[in-house]
């Protein structure tokens, strides 16, 4: 079973990609990602601005000890000087070739607010160098929350790069390189301008979920980092929602990153309209084997569901994510009297764990086996959805059909 997929005319052996960041900054890390079986890697951003090169130490803050397992924030610019990015690509080329993984260059322009002639030439020159070094596509990152603070003294959440600037960047680079070029932007900065970016020649879109979340250290009464910026599993729901909106508007393929932590998340992202799903935080937290597991999980899902290819699932959920007509129908179908409902607990499946006794109406008790007090039960669905082994079924007693006249 092959998971191969085409993205902006380039073939990927599977849709799992290691996104640009600390995991693809060193030869060691990037090689480990490739060897874990990803379809491609985006190397750490290169940047022409020396202010972005230093790595603050420490720069990465996981929130595990504050109760948000697997989530993090970072103040890691640490962008690579161009020559270092070129060297990294050159060194990775034979490994990527052997493993059939695509190499994607990334130029960080998050701090740029205009593009004069000289800057345009400089950026073109960087793109060409990356292409010559083996980058098979170029992602332009305009999604770094740190650079807008450093360069503009303003919070990322209020900073909106000008669409004319985005268009100019695409046009400049399209004229310079022959590989696909696209921008990496947060949703609110991408959805508004998607038509203009496509008109300018963007070959794809890279959606970077960014939520202004924070975590407070209750011992000090201060946020762990004094700039709201939160990556991790909690982001996946935002990713799916924004992605589905973008997918309905965009005509070019989408690569997405933000909270993708399991193979289920990759599948959700594809169903909401992405062609590639990228991962950073989950690799930092759970290791490279996580990338392998995502590919394997995706493969067994496609096989189990009998899809002929991974392409078949792309975008299937997108039109249903916010569908008012469907929602009203969904709601109305559930306006049933208590008497019409049944609740059963399957004896063979139930492990007697007792979780279902969290019932908000006190209707579920457990002695040897869970017992429902039908007087109290409102058939709300809580127990059914929290039972870890799906032993509880709630459904209408009879299905009413219009007689066939």
Ligand X SMILES: Cc1cc2nc3c(=O)[nH]c(=O)nc-3n(C[C@H](O)[C@H](O)[C@H](O)COP(=O)(O)O)c2cc1C
Own/partner long-range contacts of 218-226 (Cβ < 8 Å, ≥24 apart):
224/61, 224/63, 224/66, 224/73, 225/61, 225/73, 225/75
Cross-strand pairs, 80: 46
Specify whether the CB–CB gap between 141 and 185 falls below 8 A.
no
Which of ligand X, ligand SF4, none is residue 392 near (CB under 5 to 8 Å by kind)?
Answer: ligand SF4
Based on CB atoms, which residue is closest to ligand X, 43 or 343? 43
Based on CB atoms, which residue is closest to ligand SF4, 322 or 346? 346
Which of ligand X, ligand SF4, none is residue 378 near (CB under 5 to 8 Å by kind)?
Answer: ligand SF4
User: What element of type H or E holds 181?
Assistant: strand 181-185
Is 175 an interacting residue with respect to ligand SF4 (CB under 6 A)?
A: no
97 in helix, strand or coil?
helix
| Residue 130 burial class via C-beta count within 10 angstroms: exposed 0-12, middle 13-18, buried 19 and up | buried
Picking from 8, 30, 204, the residue whose alpha carbon sits closest to that of residue 103 is: 30
Binding ligand SF4 (rule: CB under 6 A), the pick from 350, 365, 395, 396 is 350
Which of ligand X, ligand SF4, none is residue 370 near (CB under 5 to 8 Å by kind)?
Answer: ligand SF4
339 in helix, strand or coil?
helix
Structure token digits, residue 388: 């870890």
Q: In the complex, what is the shortest distance from the CB of residue 127 to ligand SF4, in angstroms, rounded to a whole number?
A: 56
Is 336 an interacting residue with respect to ligand SF4 (CB under 6 A)?
A: no
11 in helix, strand or coil?
strand
Which of ligand SF4, ligand X, none is residue 383 near (CB under 5 to 8 Å by kind)?
Answer: ligand SF4
Is 341 an interacting residue with respect to ligand SF4 (CB under 6 A)?
A: no
Site string for ligand SF4, 369-398 (x = CB under 6 A): -x-x----xxxxxxx---x-x-xx-x----
User: What residue ranges bind ligand X (CB under 6 A)?
Assistant: 19-22, 44-45, 60, 72, 74, 76, 79, 106, 108, 141, 184, 208, 231, 235, 257-260, 279-282
Which of ligand X, ligand SF4, none is residue 352 near (CB under 5 to 8 Å by kind)?
Answer: ligand SF4
Picking from 136, 101, 107, the residue whose alpha carbon sits closest to that of residue 30 is: 101
Q: In the complex, what is the shortest distance from the CB of residue 86 to ligand X, in angstroms, rounded to a whole number?
A: 16
């Amino acid at each position: 079973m092959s998971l191969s997929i085409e993205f902006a005319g380039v073939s990927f052996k599977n849709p799992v990609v290691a996104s640009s960041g600390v995991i693809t900054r060193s030869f060691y890390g990037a090689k480990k990602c490739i060897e874990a079986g990803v379809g491609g890697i985006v190397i750490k951003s290169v940047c022409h601005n020396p202010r972005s090169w230093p790595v603050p130490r420490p720069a990465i803050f996981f929130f595990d000890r504050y109760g948000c397992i697997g989530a993090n924030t970072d103040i890691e610019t640490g962008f690579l000087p161009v020559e270092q990015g070129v060297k990294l690509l050159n060194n990775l080329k034979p490994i990527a070739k052997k493993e059939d993984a695509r190499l994607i260059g990334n130029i960080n322009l998050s701090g740029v607010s205009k593009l004069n002639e000289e800057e345009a030439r400089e950026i073109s020159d960087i793109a060409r160098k990356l292409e010559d070094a083996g980058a098979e596509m170029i992602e332009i990152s305009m999604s770094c929350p740190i650079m807008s603070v450093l360069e503009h003294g303003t919070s990322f959440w209020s900073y909106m790069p000008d669409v004319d600037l985005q268009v100019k960047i695409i046009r400049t680079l399209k004229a310079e390189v022959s590989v696909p070029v696209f921008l990496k932007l947060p949703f609110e900065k991408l959805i508004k301008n998607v038509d203009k970016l496509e008109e300018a020649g963007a070959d794809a879109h890279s959606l970077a979920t960014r939520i202004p979340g924070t975590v407070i250290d209750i011992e000090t009464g201060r946020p762990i980092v004094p700039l709201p910026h939160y990556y991790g599993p909690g982001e996946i729901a935002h990713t799916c929602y924004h992605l589905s909106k973008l997918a309905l508007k965009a005509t070019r393929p989408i690569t997405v990153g933000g909270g993708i932590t399991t193979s289920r998340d990759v599948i959700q992202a594809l169903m909401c309209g992405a062609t590639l799903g990228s991962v950073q935080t989950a690799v930092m937290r759970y290791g490279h084997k996580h990338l392998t597991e995502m590919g394997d999980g995706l493969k067994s899902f496609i096989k189990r569901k009998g899809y002929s290819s991974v392409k078949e699932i792309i975008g299937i959920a997108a039109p249903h994510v916010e569908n008012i007509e469907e929602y009203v129908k969904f709601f109305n179908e559930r306006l049933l009297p208590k008497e019409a409902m049944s609740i059963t607990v399957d004896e063979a499946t139930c492990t007697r764990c007792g979780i279902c006794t969290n019932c908000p109406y006190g209707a579920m008790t457990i002695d040897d086996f869970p017992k429902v007090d039908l007087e109290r039960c409102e058939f709300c669905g809580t127990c059914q959805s929290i039972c870890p082994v799906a032993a509880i079924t709630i459904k209408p007693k009879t299905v009413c059909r219009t007689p066939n006249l």
